[in-house]
């Protein structure tokens, strides 16, 4: 067997139908490069790894984890198994409808300082508006940023490749040798902000991240956590604090944490209380308490 140039890595958690659709879209569409597909079954209720093996045989590498390791932990299992020069971390609820992977990967040839790239991401269902055409940088205290192009009709207005601050966790390619230098994703996050933390590490190591629109990935949006679920609120809030602690420097770190612990917490919890969602307001303070208790947040 020849060594693949690209490793598709996707994490499955109770989403076997989406995972199968993604795999089939890769097999049906991507013919320009040699690749492998790695599916991590992140402790799904059923043995979804077994289902994938029955359907696709040795054409797909499967890893079954008996514990839900989160987004980072699941992808890290894939990293350890992958053989590709480039690793494509792709959500299982995405679809590939076109093959521009040769042109896409040639972006890395422009400079040895390019560490990772993300494609244009569009919503999978009509009218297929843009979901992502890059991220702006985070504001230094409130940690707010913008997703460029979000919900815009795609008229080609975001078809210029550009340097970006953050890759998109739903679809991002990172060079294997960069991972060897900066390390894998930190699994302390479990869910949300782990790819932003990883991008910050890659940039601190002196590498550039880029948005490359020649390849489009179609995203069905996350189905695993639900809209405004307790799980979502908890990890978004805890991990925003964790990101600030790990990645901001000097006074900005403490100003940001003070803001998140006070003004932002009061504002967000009041918002949920006004909507009659007291349980979600309480989750914010549980997230704060969980952050304070984290033993490894200084690492």
**CA pair distance 80, 41, nearest whole angstrom:** 15
Nearest CA-CA partner of 222 in 234, 232, 233 = 232
**Mean of pLDDT over the chain:** 94
For the stretch 43-95, pLDDT in tens is: 999 999 999 999 999 999 999 999 999 999 999 999 999 999 999 999 999 99
Q: Are 123 and 131 in contact (CB under 8 A)?
A: yes
User: Is the model's pTM score more than 0.85?
Assistant: yes
Tell me, what's the pLDDT at 79?
97
Q: How sure is the predictor about 296, in pLDDT bands with cuts at 50, 70 and 90? A: low
**CA pair distance 212, 88, nearest whole angstrom:** 14
Give 63's contacts (C-beta < 8 A, 6+ positions apart): 38, 39, 40, 41, 49, 77, 78, 81
Residue recorded with tokens 């100003």? 255
- Rounded to an integer, the average pLDDT of 169-189 is 95
Q: Are 142 and 264 in contact (CB under 8 A)?
A: yes
Tell me, what's the pLDDT at 295?
76
Nearest CA-CA partner of 190 in 11, 8, 9 = 11
Does pLDDT of 273 surpass 60? yes
**CA pair distance 246, 76, nearest whole angstrom:** 19
Would you call 230 exposed, middle or buried from its count of C-beta atoms within 10 A (0-12, 13-18, 19+)? middle
- Rounded to an integer, the average pLDDT of 128-149 is 94
**CA pair distance 299, 236, nearest whole angstrom:** 19
Q: Are 288 and 241 in contact (CB under 8 A)?
A: yes
Tokens representing residue 81 in the block: 């198994």
Tell me, what's the pLDDT at 222?
52
């Amino acid at each position: 067997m020849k060594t693949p140039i690209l490793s598709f890595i996707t994490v499955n958690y109770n989403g076997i139908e989406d995972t199968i659709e993604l795999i089939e879209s890769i097999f049906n569409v991507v013919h320009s490069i040699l690749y492998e597909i790695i599916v991590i079954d992140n402790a799904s209720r059923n043995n979804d790894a077994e289902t994938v093996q029955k359907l696709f045989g040795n054409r797909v590498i499967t890893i079954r984890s008996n514990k839900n390791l989160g987004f980072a932990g699941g992808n890290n299992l894939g990293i350890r198994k992958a053989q590709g020069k480039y690793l494509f971390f792709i959500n299982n609820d995405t679809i590939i409808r076109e093959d521009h992977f040769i042109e896409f990967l040639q972006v890395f040839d422009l400079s040895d300082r390019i560490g990772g790239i993300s494609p244009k991401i569009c919503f999978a269902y009509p009218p297929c508006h843009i979901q992502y055409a890059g991220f702006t940088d985070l504001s230094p205290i409130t940690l707010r940023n913008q997703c460029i192009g979000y919900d815009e009709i795609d008229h080609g207005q975001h078809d210029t490749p550009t340097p970006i601050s953050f890759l998109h966790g739903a679809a991002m390619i990172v060079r294997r040798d960069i991972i060897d230098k900066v390390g894998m994703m930190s699994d302390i996050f479990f869910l949300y902000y782990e790819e932003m933390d990883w991008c910050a590490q890659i940039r601190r190591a002196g590498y550039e991240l880029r948005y490359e629109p020649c390849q489009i990935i179609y995203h069905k949006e996350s189905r695993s956590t639900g809209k405004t679920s307790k799980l979502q609120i908890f990890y978004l809030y805890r991990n925003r604090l964790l990101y600030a602690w790990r990645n901001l420097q000097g006074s900005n770190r403490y100003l940001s944490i003070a803001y998140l612990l006070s003004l932002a917490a009061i504002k967000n919890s009041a918002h949920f209380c006004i909507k009659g969602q007291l349980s979600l307001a309480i989750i914010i303070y549980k997230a704060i308490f969980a952050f304070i208790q984290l033993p490894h947040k200084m690492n």
